Amino acid sequence: MVSMNNQEWEELSKKESLGSGRFGIVYPKDDMNAYKIYFKQVADDAGFYHDNPCLLFSKKRFQRLIEKCQELEFTDGISDMIQIERNFAGIAMPRQYGTKVCHMMDEPLSKRIQLAKLIVRNAKELTDHHIYHCDYKLDNMIYQGDNVQIVDLDDIHTHFSPLYYHYSIDILGLTLAAFMKDDLHLAVPRSVHKKLLRADTPCTYTYRAIDHYLQEKERPKDILWIDSDTDLSLIPFILQKHDYSVVYLLDDVLEDSEYKKLYALCVSENIPLYDMALKKNVSKYPEFDTIRSDTSVYEYQYRKVI
């Protein structure tokens, strides 16, 4: 237990904080360590203030977490408890250096996939040690070159009961889908969505499903762009020559029924449709899928002619 008196706390509070969240504020103790001091009260979603639940946890809970964190290889977690004038006030932890993952959204997809794999590795280690973290937010992750630190393991969103196992993975999966920019995909009806061949966010998140999702995101694809002017009867012959992922380009969003008709048309022409996208968003496609090369059907035919 780290003990401070009021004078020591006053000196610490004069330092520039390393950051703050809903439950506390983090100060540098020295180059290697940081102290997280909990707010006495926190606001709920409605704006009403209540006693900070982190200050109401039993000391046994924190001691259990400290012991578990000592067994971790990839995540530092917390190292001690802090009391000010003998009153429990916060936790001590290794000081983290690096870049918050939330500031890396504009990194190339290959880099974000690499980071996502590190995050999944760390998450697996946590659950292997019966630490079920349910607050996987990109601003709670710090990139450090060959590692990603998951922080804020000390608050109310971390549990030790296996009842939280699947919920923890659900939160992780949703966060990684956002990190992969899946929201840039054209939104189509679910009945069409599930038939497209593109890497899809899992309906039910498991570590195996997340691993497969990232593998598909990473797999290089040769894209063949087609649209309403394409002679669809030519596409099966083109696909016999090369393994293209076919993406149908649209001028604008459609009614749900039109997406279904369009997909049915492609099926009738023996075209395995990888995805649908808006023409104006073609330049954004490499932000959420790995493209080795791409060509329009017109460019393909032109090359064949010459």
pLDDT digits (tens, 9 = 90+) for 171-186: 999 999 999 999 999 9
Give me 153's structure tokens: 């393991």
Altogether, the residues listed in the chain come to a count of 306
* The pLDDT value given to residue 30: 94
Q: What is the pLDDT of residue 300?
A: 62
Quote the pTM value.
Answer: 0.92
Question: pLDDT tens digits for 136-151?
Answer: 999 999 999 889 999 9
pLDDT for 304: 44
Average pLDDT, stretch 76-104?
96
Percent with pLDDT over 70 in the chain? 97
What confidence tens digit (pLDDT) does each residue in 256-299 have? Answer: 999 999 999 999 999 999 999 999 999 999 999 999 999 987 77
Q: What is the pLDDT of residue 274?
A: 97
User: 21 and 152 in contact (C-beta within 8 Å)?
Assistant: yes
Contact 75, 69 (CB under 8 A): yes
Provide the pLDDT for residue 45.
83
**How confident is the model over 49-86, as pLDDT tens digits?**
999 999 999 999 999 999 999 999 999 999 999 999 99
